[in-house]
A and B are shown apart, each in its own frame.
Chain A
Amino acid sequence: QKEVEQDPGPLSVPEGAIVSLNCTYSNSAFQYFMWYRQYSRKGPELLMYTYSSGNKEDGRFTAQVDKSSKYISLFIRDSQPSDSATYLCAMRYTGGGNKLTFGTGTQLKVEL
């Protein structure tokens, strides 16, 4: 079993929809949680990060962490075609250097 599980999709939604992307993890040592966005044929880029349970907002994006359930989510409001990409969750241990463990990514397509 992988340390981080993520539904690969693909997920297709109409423009303006609310999107929910999720990851589960098995190791309670993970303390820092990130979402990376990867456009086709590009490298991933950091979208959001958080280190505590609860919600963190940044514009149309909300990251949610539930450490008790080992579950993290990324919500995208008013989704746009430019949001079409693969979204990867990533996690880090405290004291683990800068090493990240990534989910496999969820491919999202927002259609006009």
Chain B
Amino acid sequence: DAGVIQSPRHEVTEMGQEVTLRCKPISGHDYLFWYRQTMMRGLELLIYFNNNVPIDDSGMPEDRFSAKMPNASFSTLKIQPSEPRDSAVYFCASSGGAGGISHEQFFGPGTRLTVL
């Protein structure tokens, strides 16, 4: 398996633009997580899904952020409109599946977002 795949790896955009981050979890995993990492705040959970259903979105900072998981192999995190304070590395992670360690989350390489 190729692991968790994220795209794009880097994104530079201007304030006010819409940004869409994409994630393909590991096949067979039933949990998907979106995180944001900054030096100041560390790794913050934004939202997570179980079997494509959003379970906890309490970490989503505001209405500008939205996430979807239309099927078991794809998820998006959208920021509209983007602001400079959204600049961070966004990670997608997946876990679960038969025989897996439930607390082992497999992280993608991240998307480094810069909002000018």
Contacts and interface: CB of A to CB of B under 8 A. Distances in A.
Contacts, number: 64
A79 B48 CA distance: 35
A100 interface: yes
Given A44-B43, A105-B43, A100 B55 contact: no
A105 B95 CA distance: 21
Interface stretch (B13-21, B62-70, B73-81, B103-111): B103-111
Interface residues of B, number: 24
A46 B105 contact: yes
- Say what secondary structure dominates the interface of chain B: strand
Nearest to B44: A102
B109 A34 contact: no
B42 A44 contact: no
Interface in B18-65: 31, 33, 41-43, 45, 48, 50, 55-56
A105 B107 contact: no
20 contacts: A43-B4, A43-B93, A43-B108, A44-B105, A46-B103, A46-B105, A88-B42, A97-B31, A97-B48, A97-B50, A98-B50, A99-B45, A99-B48, A99-B55, A99-B56, A101-B45, A102-B43, A102-B45, A105-B42, A105-B43
